[in-house]
Amino acid sequence: MLGAQVKSGRLNVAARAAVLAYADDVVAHFGQVHQVYNNAGLAYHGEVEKSEFKDIERIMDVDFWGVVNGTKAFLPHVIASGDGHIVNISRLFGLIAVRGQSAYHAAKFAVRGFTEALRQHMLVALRSSPTRIWQCIRRRWRRRRSSRASARAAPAW
């Protein structure tokens, strides 16, 4: 044990009011927030034509809106800390698609787009803010990239 103070709790990330309240509780407990990791995910396997709307909506509510809720709830606190990071996890399925996972892919592609747009906003609108926005897949790729031959082309994103 390194002596770090920990706060844990159960939270439905699709319940926006609960996420907003949790962010306030965390700030009240620690005084400030420097890092947030949004890693919401439910999987659902089913062909689009046979899937119920409610099943697809549930995946979007958790996998996409859970990340948006967590980001929006904590972003003002992370910015206020003067030095922070928000990391949104979209996984490989935010880059590629396979049969039977359309709802999951839709959510993870949406997380990727949301995170990229937020990152651009933070770079332009808050130039003086040291708050950083990361998408996990891109960061890992760059680490691996540095050890490979430079002849490989970088992705456009």
Tens-place pLDDT, residues 95-153 = 777 888 899 999 999 999 999 899 888 877 666 555 566 555 444 444 433 334 333 33
Query: Residue 74 — very low, low, confident or very high, per pLDDT cuts 50/70/90?
Result: very high
Which residue segments constitute the domains of the chain, with CATH numbers given?
Answer: 33-146 (3.40.50.720)
In the predicted model, what is the mean pLDDT of residues 33-62? 92
Q: Nearest-CA neighbor of 132 among 68, 89, 75, 90? A: 75
pTM metric for this prediction? 0.78
**Is there a catalytic annotation at residue 44?**
no
Of residues 9 and 52, which shows the higher confidence score?
Answer: 52
Supply the pLDDT for residue 129: 54
Identify the DSSP state of 154: P
The pLDDT of residue 20 is above 90: yes
Look at 129 and 154; give whichever has higher pLDDT. 129
44 — pLDDT class (breaks 50, 70, 90) = confident
Q: Which of 22, 37, 44, 104 is the catalytic position?
A: 104
| Strand, helix or coil for residue 94 | helix
**Least reliable range by pLDDT among 26-35, 71-80, 134-143:** 134-143
For the purposes of burial, counting CB atoms within 10 Å of the CB of 13, is it exposed (0-12), middle (13-18) or buried (19 or more)? buried
More confident residue, 86 or 139: 86
Higher pLDDT, 28 or 84: 28
- Order of strands across the sheet that contains 35-38: 35-38, 85-88, 132-135
pLDDT at 52: 95
Instruction: Output the pLDDT for position 19.
Output: 97
List Cα–Cα distances, 152 to 126, 135, 147, in angstroms.
Answer: 33, 21, 11
